[in-house]
Amino acid sequence: MKLIIINGPNLNLLGKREPEVYGNRTFEDYFTELQFKFKDVQLEYFQSNIEGEIIGKIQEVGFSHDGVILNAAAYTHTSVGIGDAIKAVETPVVEVHISNTHQREDFRHVSYISPVAKGVILGFGLQSYDLAIQSFLD
Ligand code: DQA
């Protein structure tokens, strides 16, 4: 089972960024825990602050990997291009968010990813990623 976690803009600042919303932990630290927990999964990680790089990565893995776990961050609410990339590839994409975006500002209630995602997991903190991995195993 080959899965990739793709994180979008500003998620490289986890641990420092709005800790009251996103927690105190860096993603690199959490990713090590995920790799330890899911030893049988080939787990990769990619982060970019650039929309085109995220689209490029979806295209690159979208015919080879078993699943993509995507937190497109702010691009979730704006990117037709990322939505189209998900539609263009074969690999299923699970959308994740750390926060419950529906409890936040109205602009975060819109997602260009949800209509083309296999499923959506949000609001469980970093555990959202763990649950997304499990969704591919069951
Ligand atoms: C986020 C929610 C988005 O609205 C926000 O722009 C992010 C992070 C989350 O994981 O909760 O950067 O995707």
Q: Encode pLDDT of 77-92 as tens digits.
A: 999 999 999 999 999 9
Give per-residue pLDDT as tens, 87-118.
Answer: 999 999 999 999 999 999 999 999 999 999 99
- Looking at residue 12, its pLDDT comes to 98
Q: What is the pTM for the complete model shown?
A: 0.97
Q: Please provide the average confidence, as pLDDT, over all residues in the chain.
A: 97
Give residue limits of the domains in the chain: 2-137
- Residue 61 Cβ contacting ligand 1 at under 6 Å: no
Rounded CA-CA distance 24/4 in Å is 23
Degrees to nearest 5, angle at CA 124 with 73 and 1: 75
Interhelix angle 80-88/51-61, nearest 10 degrees:
10
Rounded CA-CA distance 125/105 in Å is 18
**pLDDT above 70 as % of the chain:** 99
Catalytic residues, by residue number, are 22, 97
Give the CATH class of 2-137: alpha beta
Q: 3-class DSSP state for residue 41?
A: coil
The whole-number average pLDDT for the span 65-84 is 98
- Residue 126 Cβ contacting ligand 1 at under 6 Å: no
- Residue 121 Cβ contacting ligand 1 at under 6 Å: no
